[in-house]
Amino acid sequence: MASDEAELQQHQKLEKLYISTRAAKHLQRDIVRGVEGHIVTGSKQVEIGTKLSEDSKKYSSENTCTSGGTLSKVALSFSSARAQMEKEHDCYLRTLGTQVTEPLRAMVVGSALEDARHLAQRYDRVRQEVEAQAIEVARCHARVRETNNSSDITLKLEAAEMKLNELKSNMVTLGKEATSAMAAVEHQQQRLTLQRLIAMVEAERSYHQHVLQILDQLEQEMLSARQQTEVFPNPARDTRSNPAPAYNEGENLSASKPYDGSFDGTEYFLGEVIQPYQAESDVELTLALGDYVVVRKVTNHGWAEGECKGEAGWFPFEFVERRDRVLASKVAEVF
Closest CA to 117 of 194, 27, 128, 125: 125
What is residue 244's predicted lDDT score, i.e. its pLDDT? 72
246 with 184, same domain: the answer is: no
184 and 57 share one domain: yes
DSSP 148: T
Same-domain check for residues 183 and 263 = no
The whole-angstrom separation of Cα 331 and Cα 335 is 7
Residues 170 and 276 occupy one common structural domain? no
Does 139 lie in the same domain as 88?
Answer: yes
Cα(158)–Cα(152) distance, rounded to whole angstroms?
Answer: 10
CATH assignment of the domain containing 71 = 1.20.1270.60
Question: 3-class DSSP state for residue 175?
Answer: helix
133 and 205 belong to one structural domain: yes
Band the pLDDT of 230: cuts 50, 70, 90.
low
pLDDT value, residue 144: 75
Question: 112-146 and 2-62 helices cross at what angle (nearest 10)?
Answer: 160
CB contact at 8 A, 272 and 289:
no
Contact 72, 65 (CB under 8 A): yes
Residue 264 above 60 pLDDT? no
Determine contact, residues 73/86, Cβ cutoff 8 Å: no
Amino acid at 54: E
Kindly calculate the radius of gyration of the chain based on its CA atoms and give it in whole angstroms.
45
- If asked whether residues 83 and 222 sit together in one domain, one would say yes
Which tens digits make up the pLDDT trace of 288-317?
988 899 999 988 888 999 999 889 999 999
Residue-wise pLDDT tens digits, 73-130: 899 999 999 999 999 999 999 999 999 999 999 999 988 888 888 888 888 888 888 8
Q: Give the rounded percent of residues in the chain with a pLDDT score beyond 70.
A: 84
pLDDT in tens, 35-67: 999 999 999 999 999 999 999 999 988 877 766
33 and 153 share a domain? yes
- Rounded-to-integer distance, Cα 209 and Cα 92, Å: 12
Give the number of domains in the chain: 2
Residues 6+ apart with CB under 8 A from 57: 75, 76, 79, 80
Residue 326: give its domain's CATH number. Answer: 2.30.30.40
CA distance 26 to 14: 18
pLDDT, tens only, 201-229: 999 999 999 999 999 999 999 998 888 77
Q: Give the residue from 231, 266, 294 where a domain finishes.
A: 231
CB 151 within 8 A of CB 160: no
Give the end of a domain, one of 198, 231, 264.
Answer: 231
What residues make up the domain containing 126?
Answer: 2-231
| 37 and 161 inside one domain | yes
Q: Which residues of 310-328 are buried (b: 16+ CB within 10 A; e: fewer)?
A: eebbbbbbbbbeeeeeeee
**211 to 52, 86, 218, 291: CA distances (angstroms):** 16, 9, 10, 42
Q: Tell whether the model's pLDDT for residue 34 goes beyond 80.
A: yes
* E-only strand ranges, the chain: 269-273, 292-298, 303-308, 311-316, 320-323
CA distance 231 to 316: 13
pLDDT one-digit tens code per residue, 136-158: 888 877 877 777 767 777 788 78
92 and 157 housed in the same domain = yes
Q: Are residues 103 and 17 in the same domain?
A: yes
State which amino acid sits at residue 268: Y
Please answer whether residues 189 and 25 qualify as being in contact, where contact means their C-beta atoms are separated by less than 8 angstroms: yes
Rounded alpha-carbon distances, angstroms, from residue 280 to 143, 174, 238 = 121, 95, 11
Whole-structure pTM value: 0.62
pLDDT for 222 = 92
Q: What is the mean pLDDT of residues 15-29?
A: 94
CA 279 to CA 306: how far, in whole Å?
A: 13
Residue 184 reports pLDDT greater than 80? yes
Helix (H, G, I), strand (E, B) or coil at 254: coil
Q: Are residues 176 and 194 in the same domain?
A: yes
Pick the last residue of a domain from 208, 231, 254: 231
DSSP assignment letter at 278:
-
Phi, psi angle pair for 270, to nearest 5°:
-90, 140
- More confidently predicted of 260 and 292: 292
* HSE, side-chain direction, 13 A CA sphere, residue 51: 6
